[in-house]
Chain A
Amino acid sequence: MDNEKLIAEAKTVLLRGDIVGIIGYQKDSQGFRVSPLFVRDERDIEKLFFSPLCWLSLVNYLTLEKGRLLQKGNPGKKAKVALMVRGCDSKALNQIIIERGLSRDEVYVFGIPCNGVIDLKKIEKMFPDVQGSAQVSENNGFYHVRCNGKSHEVPKEELIADSCKHCVSPNPILYDVLLYTPIVVKQPDYRDIEEIDNMSIAEKWEFWREQFSMCVRCYACRNACPLCYCDDCILERLSPQWIYRSVNMSENLIFHLARSFHHAGRCAGCGECERVCPVNLPLMLLNRKLEKDSKELFHYTVGEKAEQKPLLATFNPQDPDDFIF
């Protein structure tokens, strides 16, 4: 994946005049880390890049601070923002657009077919003590890792983020320009969900009880999620109060279940929630369980078509209702 096309497009886009800035990825000077980059003029463009290290959703920044980003440089007047969007990100962005959280003409999308990104914790564990910056590229099922002056070939499965293992939408479903070649799509795999489904009630309870007692309610999962953008979030509302602020297994359980349910038929599968969690909660298990249920009960897949209606905002007389009489 060479960055030349990306940078050339970025330069063209900045010259357009109607685009306030570009949100992209930049390589940090430390180790394997990647940060968002907010490009407003020529000077920073060369820093833009994409590699398997880019496990970060930039769509989130569109809805942080209620659209201020879109107004920067043009206070009071909304303008376009360009951003780098992977397959999963495009599903999230599309979902926000069909929910009318943003309009399509407010974003200029650099579509990036993505073959999966690396779990930072896994690679930092495999290569601790990296001096300076490290690079990673992908080739034929292997990650080529260059750090501390040496090169290593690592099989993809050992480093790829868990949420990417289940990705069925590597190609962006909406874009203004497509960088890089589209990728062959895999079939969905829910074996890990079925494994939990097959546990006894006692086993399931113990599994989740242990996980949720670790949660420190930092709200990073909610803040990092591109689809959590409600002005008045039910998870922190005080009038009425749905969830107590005390941090214990019971309230944590409701916090995560509520958040997952609010993503039924919406979750883009970007895995941001798992990426940012400081105590490594397997939050995607909940989201993917609901994704599986949406498929089986309502034949609904997020991001199947760019113009589809939100799942829970539509009603079909054929919807199963065997629990109501």
Chain B
Amino acid sequence: MNCFILSKNNLNDFLAALDSYELFVPIRKNGITVLAHIDDPLAIKLDLTSQPYLVKQTIFPQTESLFTFDRKKGIKAPSFETNHKSQVVFGIRSCDARGFCIIDPVFEEDYPDPYYIHKRKSTILIGLQCIEPFTNCFCTSVGGSPSSTEGLDLQFTDIGESYFVEVITQKGEEIIKVTAPFLSCPDKNQSVKKDEVKKDAEQKVKRKIDVNQLSQKIEQIFEDSVWSDLAEKCISCGICTFFCPTCYCFDIQDEIIRGKGKRLRTWDSCMYSEYTAHASGYNPRPTRMERLRNRIYHKFKQNIDRYGVSGCVGCGRCITLCPSNEDIVENIETLQRL
């Protein structure tokens, strides 16, 4: 693996050198940290300490036009030719990168989704090693780690005065070529420090869940009344699903004015009662119990059955943001204890 050093003083210059890409960086807005598209990296104040939200927007936008149409003339399909600029998403965490890897097979299998695949291919992900895992993180329990490079093209580790930059993929190499003037070679001390930081971070992940045999357990206790107890305080909003790096459900809607319009897709949530409501009025998941049970089932069993990997990356955002303090770590503990 190729490695480099980037002095912290040069970070904004590094980003400015990426002017041939659409650049997304974490900035503070309204009290949260989001990945925002910016034009001038030199004038921007980055937030690299708080947990970023809605990273998946950069590859899987919340609202996306599928095609436009004119009732008289027909459909105009979008072209995916590479006239579009590639994009660089800087400052994401390992859990977000793993999140993309987990939803990739959904969009790639059977009927490949050109919207997602094109964006995915033309996006370069630059990760930031977590120094201090966040309050509700439990990534190490579900196959992840604050140091994981899965899904990343470059990983930055803060080693004090500078960043230790690791090149993970060929796409990462492309970035190095463009930003070479600001990079130097690491010495042994810096390399050692980087390893220390990484090891430290893994130990600091405070919360843990026991996923041993969890998949089978969930199937066994599917009809148990415990699910009603777990779901009692849920208010059926979409926060956990929208902020989850591995949730991908979407709705398809048409918008039309005077015969012209578009068909678009927009994020949807299995926690809404409308999600499975049939036009006949029948709803296979009428209450919060069925929906909460389904969500846990999907993350901790279905994903494993279908794709061989847990659907949860352990980022803890659902716990942090839930209005009713539904806590997946506590919920899994309760289920395992049964």
Binary interface profile of A, 181-211, with partner B (CB < 8 Å = 1, else 0)? 0000000000000000000000000000001
> What distance in Å separates the Cβ of A21 from its nearest Cβ neighbour in chain B?
10
- Please name all residues of chain A whose beta carbon is closer than 8 Å to the beta carbon of B113 when the two chains form the complex: none
Is the CB of A176 closer than 8 A to any CB of chain B?
Answer: no
Cross-chain contact A280 with B31 (CB below 8 angstroms): yes
Is the CB of A281 closer than 8 A to any CB of chain B?
Answer: yes
For the complex, what is the distance from the CA of A31 to the CA of B135, rounded to whole Å?
10
Is the CB of A60 closer than 8 A to any CB of chain B?
Answer: yes
- Please name all residues of chain B whose beta carbon is closer than 8 Å to the beta carbon of A64 when the two chains form the complex: 235-236, 288
Choice from A28, A211, A248, A272 contacting B325 with Cβ under 8 Å: A28
Binary interface profile of A, 99-123, with partner B (CB < 8 Å = 1, else 0)? 0000000000000000000000100
Cross-chain contact B235 with A278 (CB below 8 angstroms): no
Is the CB of A314 closer than 8 A to any CB of chain B?
Answer: no
- Please name all residues of chain B whose beta carbon is closer than 8 Å to the beta carbon of A224 when the two chains form the complex: 235, 237, 323
- Please name all residues of chain A whose beta carbon is closer than 8 Å to the beta carbon of B327 when the two chains form the complex: 28, 30
- Please name all residues of chain B whose beta carbon is closer than 8 Å to the beta carbon of A246 when the two chains form the complex: 63, 253, 255, 264, 266
Binary interface profile of B, 232-255, with partner A (CB < 8 Å = 1, else 0)? 110111110011000000010101
For the complex, what is the distance from the CA of A278 to the CA of B321, rounded to whole Å?
6
Given A60-B235, A121-B31, residue A216 in contact with residue B288 (CB < 8 A): no
Given A36-B324, A64-B236, A244-B253, residue A219 in contact with residue B272 (CB < 8 A): yes
Choice from B63, B237, B266, B324 contacting A218 with Cβ under 8 Å: B237
Q: Which residue of B lies closest to A244 (CB)?
A: B255
Interface residues of A in 214-267 (CB under 8 A from B): 214, 216-220, 222-224, 236, 244-248
Is the CB of A86 closer than 8 A to any CB of chain B?
Answer: no
> What distance in Å separates the Cβ of B54 from its nearest Cβ neighbour in chain A?
7
- Please name all residues of chain B whose beta carbon is closer than 8 Å to the beta carbon of A280 when the two chains form the complex: 30-32
Cross-chain contact B29 with A214 (CB below 8 angstroms): yes
For the complex, what is the distance from the CA of A143 to the CA of B242, rounded to whole Å?
34
For the complex, what is the distance from the CA of A279 to the CA of B32, rounded to whole Å?
7
Cross-chain contact A278 with B239 (CB below 8 angstroms): yes
Choice from A61, A220, A236 contacting B274 with Cβ under 8 Å: A236
For the complex, what is the distance from the CA of A177 to the CA of B315, rounded to whole Å?
43
Q: Which residue of B lies closest to A275 (CB)?
A: B323
Is the CB of A38 closer than 8 A to any CB of chain B?
Answer: yes
Total interface residues on B, using CB and 8 Å?
Answer: 36
Is the CB of A151 closer than 8 A to any CB of chain B?
Answer: no
Given A220-B237, A223-B237, residue A278 in contact with residue B232 (CB < 8 A): no
Cross-chain contact B255 with A218 (CB below 8 angstroms): no
- Please name all residues of chain B whose beta carbon is closer than 8 Å to the beta carbon of A219 when the two chains form the complex: 237-238, 272
- Please name all residues of chain B whose beta carbon is closer than 8 Å to the beta carbon of A211 when the two chains form the complex: 30
For the complex, what is the distance from the CA of A61 to the CA of B243, rounded to whole Å?
24
Is the CB of B62 closer than 8 A to any CB of chain A?
Answer: yes
Choice from B32, B232, B236, B243 contacting A38 with Cβ under 8 Å: B232
Q: Which residue of A lies closest to B252 (CB)?
A: A245
Choice from A28, A38, A220 contacting B323 with Cβ under 8 Å: A220
Interface residues of B in 245-304 (CB under 8 A from A): 251, 253, 255, 264, 266-267, 269, 272, 274, 287-288
Q: Which residue of A lies closest to B241 (CB)?
A: A218
Binary interface profile of A, 23-52, with partner B (CB < 8 Å = 1, else 0)? 000001111011110100000000000000
- Please name all residues of chain A whose beta carbon is closer than 8 Å to the beta carbon of B63 when the two chains form the complex: 246-248
Cross-chain contact A65 with B32 (CB below 8 angstroms): no
Is the CB of B53 closer than 8 A to any CB of chain A?
Answer: yes
Cross-chain contact B235 with A65 (CB below 8 angstroms): no
Is the CB of A68 closer than 8 A to any CB of chain B?
Answer: yes
Given A36-B324, A223-B236, A276-B323, residue A247 in contact with residue B32 (CB < 8 A): no
Which of A30, A129, A218, A224 has the most CB atoms of chain B within a 10 A radius of its CB? A218
Cross-chain contact B243 with A247 (CB below 8 angstroms): no
Cross-chain contact B288 with A278 (CB below 8 angstroms): no
Q: Which residue of B lies closest to A68 (CB)?
A: B287
Choice from B135, B251, B267, B321 contacting A129 with Cβ under 8 Å: B135
Cross-chain contact B31 with A35 (CB below 8 angstroms): no
| Residues of B in contact with A (beta carbons under 8 Å apart) | 29-32, 34, 53-54, 62-63, 135, 232-233, 235-239, 242-243, 251, 253, 255, 264, 266-267, 269, 272, 274, 287-288, 321, 323-325, 327, 330
| Residues of A in contact with B (beta carbons under 8 Å apart) | 28-31, 33-36, 38, 56, 60-61, 64-65, 68, 121, 128-129, 211, 214, 216-220, 222-224, 236, 244-248, 272, 275-276, 278-281
Q: Can you list 11 pairs linking A and B with CB atoms under 8 Å apart?
A: A29-B330, A30-B327, A31-B135, A33-B325, A35-B324, A36-B233, A64-B236, A214-B34, A218-B269, A278-B53, A279-B30
Given contacts A38-B232, A279-B30, A281-B30, 17 further A-B contacts (CB under 8 A): A28-B325, A28-B327, A29-B330, A35-B324, A56-B324, A121-B31, A129-B135, A211-B30, A217-B238, A218-B239, A219-B272, A247-B62, A247-B267, A276-B235, A278-B53, A280-B30, A280-B31
Q: What 4 A-B pairs are tightest by C-beta distance, nearest first?
A: A276-B323, A220-B237, A218-B238, A223-B237
